Amino acid sequence: MMKRAPWPVMVAMLLSIALNLWFAGAPSLSWIPAALIAWYFADFASGITHMVMDYKPCRQGIGLDRLYFYEGSRESEDYLALRGRVWREMGPFEKLVYDFKNHHPRPEALGRRPMLVQIGSTICFASLPASILLNLAAWLLPLPGWLVFGSVILLVGGTFAQYFHGTLHRADNPRIVEWMRSAGLLMSPDAHQLHHDTLTRDFATNNGWSNPLVNRIFALAIRRRWLTESGLTPQ
């Protein structure tokens, strides 16, 4: 199961983003297209990540198949003991891969998780390192303000991708989520349901703008057998 990022990491992320916004300088009209392009690529990143995690095979021989297909109560002592034994055999990335697969038969579980838990792994493994690299690049190079601002929007969209995904599986969302859906900046639950109905299309979960491209990449990956259906569930 995903865990919340430690507070020092969260604070470092906020400070790094604030520094990048300072490097971006005064706002200008060029920030608008930069933000929209960045929002598209954040959606694209959510789709590629989702696609790979869905189809990447889990490690065999440690009991993940028993955990995934467990038929009894998931609050029972037997299940919790089994999960504890299996979890001790896995690294953080393996747990994340399993979590994507476990989401398909139990989508409502993602919606119940707190926001800081949903974005914790992304901050630790991707967003904070990328933001620090942007800090260094903006400090050492004469980057235009629109590029730095667009990069910040890309970081924000990527960081909150799993949270946006979770809002698709819950009814009570903050008003800003509803506003962004109305403006077309976030995906609707009905649009995301197409993915759960097939597991072969529409992997992007931010707004779906990139799904036509992601679907073509998925079709190519299946034809070339870079991805196979056996990776969808633990074997």
pLDDT digits 0-9 by tens, 114-169: 888 888 888 988 999 999 999 999 999 999 999 999 999 999 999 999 999 999 99
Which one, of 48, 12, 43, 66, lies nearest residue 164 by Cα?
43
At 189-222, the pLDDT tens digits run 999 999 999 999 999 999 999 999 999 999 999 9
Q: Which token pair is 205?
A: 């979960």
- Tell me the pLDDT band of 83, cut-offs 50, 70 and 90: confident
Q: What is the pLDDT of residue 3?
A: 63
Distance (Å, whole) CA 166 – CA 85: 27
Distance (Å, whole) CA 222 – CA 231: 12
Distance (Å, whole) CA 41 – CA 161: 12
**Could you write out the DSSP letters of every residue in 99-166?**
HHHHHTT-HHHHHHS-HHHHHHHHIIIIIHHHHHHHHHHHHHS---HHHHHHHHHHHHHHHTHHHHHH
Tell me the pTM. Answer: 0.90
Which one, of 28, 205, 190, lies nearest residue 110 by Cα?
205
CB atoms within 10 A of CB 77: 8
For residue 1, pLDDT beyond 70: no
At 168-178, the pLDDT tens digits run 999 899 999 99
Helices (H), the chain: 7-24, 31-55, 64-68, 77-88, 92-103, 107-112, 115-122, 128-140, 145-159, 161-167, 175-182, 189-198, 211-223
Q: What is the pLDDT of residue 235?
A: 86
Which residue in this structure is represented by tokens 């630790």?
124
For residue 4, pLDDT beyond 80: no
